[in-house]
Chain A
Amino acid sequence: MGELKLENSEQQDWDSCLVAVAETGDRKLFMAFYDYFTPRLRSWLIKLTSDRDLAEELSQEAFLQAWRRAKTFDPKKAKASTWLFTIARNLFVDHKRRQKVEQKHAEKLAGGDIQDVDFGLDNGLVKKAIANLPHQQSQMIYQSYYLGRSHSEIAKATGLPLGTIKSSIRLAFQKLCIELDPL
């Protein structure tokens, strides 16, 4: 695990990296994980929170929790990236509970419209899977994962009926499961 290639996730087995961190407590090895995922996690958190400072704070805390919980990581249950996502998501949800940003979030939607968004994914299976979705479905997936919007919030922002939003997300989810086979 000593020779880490940080520039390309495909070449790096992050699951083994985390398992080794849990076994050895190697801080430098953990920093390799941090170096790869921090700019990516922050990128997602900035979109989700619309607040760079908050995104930074949540990201730093997510990595500290990842370190503290490294022994609970089980590569048979989830990939390292999924595990890190769930830690960061839970921090975001807890933050929403504390700050009651749901109301502010809803206010931001007033007069909002659905805009073309680019997931900005690198070339690979995930990018292809998103590109294969009909436009409306990919937009709903973006609004859910990257903007953290509930179905009703998406309805307010887009003017589309709730039933349409739910069926778009459901169909997109089913297609992504087939294309990405995420488990």
Chain B
Amino acid sequence: MNHINHHPDEATLLSYAAGALPRSFAVLIDCHLEQCPQCHEKIFKAEAIAGEFIEHSPPIEANDSDALRDKFFAALDAEPTPQQLAHTVGNEPQLPIEVVAVLSGRDQELPWRFIVPGMHSITLNSSDLHSSESSLKLLRIAPGRNLPMHSHQGSELTMVLQGAFQDELGCFRPGDVADLDHEVEHQPITIGNEACICLVAMDAPLEFKSLVPKLLQPFIGF
């Protein structure tokens, strides 16, 4: 397991636990949690707070509660007992196949799309990952390359899957997450001899500082 130095903001972990993150952000957090017991503990705490809210909420008054109770009991009566259900359905998150491919060293098999020299991406656009609200992409940057200076119009989560990059906030290696918003302006540059592959969730396009990337932006999809 990698040693992780950069974690998602605790506010992001709370929103994940509350079920309030956009889908693409939640998938990225799932990927991070696979490698980070420390954040798992925080998620458990945030879930426990929600459990307390529910346990101590006032019961809702409803005219139909008796009818609903009868309906539920009838459904329950038709169910096997918990002991008879030998194979209970798990709820483990399924990571996107593209992420699994990168993590298992099969990134060359993926359909990378050329953006600019040294930079390729893949949009993970299965039906539930891509919406007008947020997007999830893989970004592959060749060794020694850097992204233009930019900030963010909305939220952005970036998780390193392979290689490493450095920016004004520090050095990010596999498992690390950069949790950014528009107050952060940075210029990531890859470090080391291998390409840096990141999973990137965004809910708004990047805001480039110089003219050329701004002009290219409609074509590169960021």
Give the secondary structure class of A's interface: helix
B203 close to A152 (CB less than 8 A): yes
Q: A42-B62, A71-B85, A152-B155 are in contact. Are A121 and B48 (CB under 8 A)?
A: no
Asked whether A151 lies within 8 Å of B53 as measured between CB atoms, the reply is no
A132 is an interface residue with CB less than 8 A from chain B: no
Cβ of B76 and Cβ of A89 under 8 Å apart? no
Whether A166 and B181, one on each chain, are in contact in the complex, defined by CB atoms closer than 8 angstroms, is: yes
- Taking CB atoms, residues of chain A closer than 8 Å to B79 are 64, 67-68
**For A41, what are the chain B residues with a Cβ–Cβ distance below 8 Å?**
54
Specify the chain B residue showing the minimal Cβ separation from A123. B56
Tell me whether A64 and B75 are in contact (CB under 8 A): yes
Chain A residue nearest to B26 (CB atoms) is A93
Number of A interface residues at 8 Å Cβ cutoff, please give it. Answer: 85
Binary interface profile of A, 79-122, with partner B (CB < 8 Å = 1, else 0)? Answer: 11111111001101100111010110010000000000001111
CA distance A173 to B69 in the complex (A): 35
Q: B59 touching A151 by the CB < 8 A rule?
A: no
Contact A21 B56 (CB under 8 A): no
CA of A15 to CA of B59, assembled, Å = 20
Alpha-carbon separation in the docked complex, A10 to B85 (Å): 31
The answer to the question of B109 belonging to the interface, with a C-beta cut-off of 8 Å to chain A, is no
Distance of A165 from chain B, by nearest CB (Å): 7
Given A38-B65, A44-B57, A182-B45, A163:B89 Cβ within 8 A: no
Which residues of chain A in 33-65 are interfacial with respect to chain B, using CB atoms and an 8 Å cutoff?
Answer: 34-35, 37-44, 46, 48, 56, 60, 63-64
Which residues from chain B contact A169 at a C-beta distance below 8 Å?
A: 10-11, 14-15
Per the bound structure, the CA–CA distance linking A163 and B83 in Å amounts to 48
6 contacts between A and B (CB under 8 A): A25-B82, A38-B68, A89-B47, A89-B50, A180-B49, A183-B44
Binding site for A on B (CB under 8 A): 9-15, 17-23, 25-26, 41, 44-62, 65, 68-69, 71-73, 75-77, 79, 81-85, 88-89, 91, 128, 131-134, 154-155, 181-183, 203-204
Starting from the known contacts A40-B54, A100-B131, A127-B56, 16 additional A-B residue pairs (CB-CB under 8 Å) come to: A34-B69, A40-B55, A41-B54, A68-B82, A70-B82, A71-B82, A78-B47, A92-B19, A96-B23, A122-B58, A125-B52, A144-B20, A147-B20, A151-B181, A163-B182, A170-B14
Taking Cβ atoms with an 8 Å cutoff, the residues of A that contact B are 9, 14, 21-23, 25, 27, 30-31, 34-35, 37-44, 46, 48, 56, 60, 63-64, 67-72, 77-86, 89-90, 92-93, 96-98, 100, 102-103, 106, 119-122, 124-127, 144-152, 161-163, 165-170, 173-174, 176-177, 180, 182-183
